[in-house]
Amino acid sequence: MRQKKATRRQFLRQATNASVGALSFPYIVPSSALGKAGTVAPSKRIVMGCIGTGGQGTGNMNNFMGKGLQVVAVCDVDTNHRNRARDVVNKNYGNKDCAAYDDFRDLVARKDIDAVTVCTPDHWHALTAIAAAKSGKDIYCEKPLANTIAEGRAICEAVKQNKRVLQTGSQERSGDRARLACGLVRNGRLGKLHTIRINLPCSDDHHKQALEQNKKRQPPMPVPEGFNYDMWLGHTPMVPYTERRCHFWWRFILNYGGGEMTDRGAHVIDLAQLGNGTDDSGPVEIEGKGEASKTGLYDTFFKYQFECRYADGVRMIGRDGGPRGLKFEGDKGWIFIHIHGARLEAEPASLLKEKIGPDEIDLGRSPGHRQNFIDSIRSRRQPVASAEIGHRTASICHLVNIAMQTGRKLKWDPKTEQITNDAEANRMLARPMRAPWHL
């Protein structure tokens, strides 16, 4: 909460300058991290397993291997995905030692793995990340952190209880220009911040394709050979297979994702949280209006407008148009951050030449999002997009979706993480899980 601005600002200034991202609880470093029991210290090698090896998962895997990590196992419910990823690893290492699994539990049970990537569809983030944390693995988990608010909180608790490092894949937060812009906002260069404008257009080719497909009946189809569809569905309801339900397109179905709100929204709103100084909190009121199909396969929102209000009066106003990004508005100027790439615009333009002084809030600079995760594994310090940060950002995305689903203004308590004025909406913070899966 930000009611006591001066006190909180002084605290943040001291804490951030002293040690950017210091852990708030003591970590027990595993013996493998110290090079004991015949293992190699992480200064020379971190052993990784990759869970979810579609496009984003394989991209992350290649990036981590390029930074010197050793991948010894991959996992995917699609035989083609996992075999392709295994072949990439074996080719890069010139051997045939990479194991391939279709059940993530087999991968996280391995004692020789220090860290995992979780690049599954959103509905699998929570159960996979929690299992990894309980098995003593550090985790790079794609955004949004989880597919419900209850799942996100469960991830945070598992990471904390098991003394793990988790980096949420909100890589925009690691960009130098984005961090500079947020630092300028935090240090009052815009004067008093009063509004954050969020632009999340649904005008890309894949949005148009989804809307076009939603006009058609998606017939049940035979499950492709080599695709473990029951495992793909996991804890969600059993429904007939159709190809437009799964790979890539799942993001437009609320059981598996949250549409653009949790897709690029998890990047844009994440920077809003950083610039607003509310990484550990969130808004207190949320309302939104949206249009979603009631008959098509895709039931997320493609047209919407929403507004969130923070306890100190700052308003976050969003829409489905404009250049993708966010605009911080104060009584002395504004800064716009474009997503992706963080190209900056400002009024006055001289704002972009400002420097952060030694006695001001210094957000620091990231060596790169994945490198920051590697550094955090070794140092046992929190990365720039910790579990708590990823959870708070995802929570806002989910709350906006819930507000649009119900059509009602929601009052949110960021401390208790409860909707206080609407029992029906509050029940939507969690979803039932199909047996045998449970949090």
Q: Does domain 176-362+387-427 have CATH number 3.40.190.10?
A: no
Alpha-carbon distance 38 to 374, whole Å? 21
Q: Give the DSSP H or E segment for 292.
A: strand 285-292
Region 415-424 average pLDDT: 98
**What average pLDDT does the structure give for the chain?**
91
Q: Of 32-41, 269-278, 344-353, which gets the smallest average pLDDT?
A: 32-41
Given a cut of 90, is residue 139 above it in pLDDT? yes
What is the fold of 17-172?
Rossmann fold (3.40.50)
Given a cut of 70, is residue 21 above it in pLDDT? no
Given a cut of 50, is residue 34 above it in pLDDT? no
pLDDT in tens, 201-234: 999 999 999 999 999 999 999 999 999 999 999 9
pLDDT in tens, 282-337: 999 999 999 999 899 999 999 999 999 999 999 999 999 999 999 999 999 999 99
Region 381-405 average pLDDT: 98
pLDDT band at residue 41 under the 50/70/90 scheme: low
pTM of the model: 0.90
Alpha-carbon distance 103 to 74, whole Å? 10
Answer whether 82's CB lies under 8 Å from 102's CB. yes
pLDDT band at residue 45 under the 50/70/90 scheme: confident
- From the CB of residue 232, how many other CB atoms can be counted at a distance below 10 Å? 23
pLDDT in tens, 159-182: 999 999 999 999 999 999 999 999
pLDDT band at residue 95 under the 50/70/90 scheme: low
Strand pairing of 115-118 and 47-51?
Answer: parallel
Given a cut of 90, is residue 25 above it in pLDDT? no
**Angle (deg, nearest 10), helices 125-134 and 149-161:** 10
- As given in the structure block, the two tokens for residue 375 are 């550094």
Region 128-146 average pLDDT: 98
The upper half-sphere exposure of residue 414, i.e. CA atoms within 13 Å in the direction of its Cβ, equals: 23
pLDDT recorded at residue 2? 37
pLDDT recorded at residue 51? 98
Region 245-269 average pLDDT: 98
Strand ranges across the sheet with 301-309: 344-347, 333-338, 325-330, 193-199, 315-319, 301-309, 285-292, 410-413, 418-419
Strand pairing of 166-168 and 138-141?
Answer: parallel
Amino acid at 435: A
Q: Which residues pair with 195 in a beta bridge?
A: 315, 329
User: What is the percentage of the chain residues whose pLDDT exceeds 90?
Assistant: 87
Give the residue extent of every domain in the chain: 17-172, 176-362+387-427
Given a cut of 80, is residue 247 above it in pLDDT? yes
pLDDT: which is higher, 38 or 100: 100
Given a cut of 70, is residue 46 above it in pLDDT? yes
